[in-house]
């Protein structure tokens, strides 16, 4: 499993956790919050997690940004890591 695969799996897990119970957003790390917000296209969550979109993407870094995009593109209702 590559670093990108591992990050995508972790993000997918956090997205599903958030969707099951939005009150758990606060227990996520900053990076996890940003990734969830990116996957769900929720600007309001990005603001809560970090601030500006540019700062949030910079905070994620290239691997987590690519992983979040992969999960978003593949859908979080299925595996989302291919």
Task: Output the pTM of the full model.
Answer: 0.85
Give the pLDDT band of residue 76 (cuts 50, 70, 90).
confident
Give the pLDDT band of residue 49 (cuts 50, 70, 90).
low
pLDDT at 10 over 80: yes
45: closest CA among 64, 75, 19?
A: 19
- How much is the average pLDDT of 24-29? 89
- Stated as kind and residue range, the H or E segment containing 56 is helix 53-74
pLDDT at 18 over 60: yes
Burial annotation 52-67 (CB, 10 A radius, 16+ → b, else e): eeeebbebbeeebbeb
């Amino acid at each position: 499993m590559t670093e990108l695969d591992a990050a995508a799996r972790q993000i997918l897990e956090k997205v599903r956790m958030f969707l099951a119970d939005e009150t758990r957003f606060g227990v996520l790390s900053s990076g996890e919050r940003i990734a969830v917000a990116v996957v769900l296209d929720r600007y309001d969550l990005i603001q809560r997690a970090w601030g500006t979109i540019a700062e949030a993407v910079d905070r994620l870094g290239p691997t987590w940004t690519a992983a979040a995009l992969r999960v978003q593109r593949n859908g979080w209702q299925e595996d989302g890591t291919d």
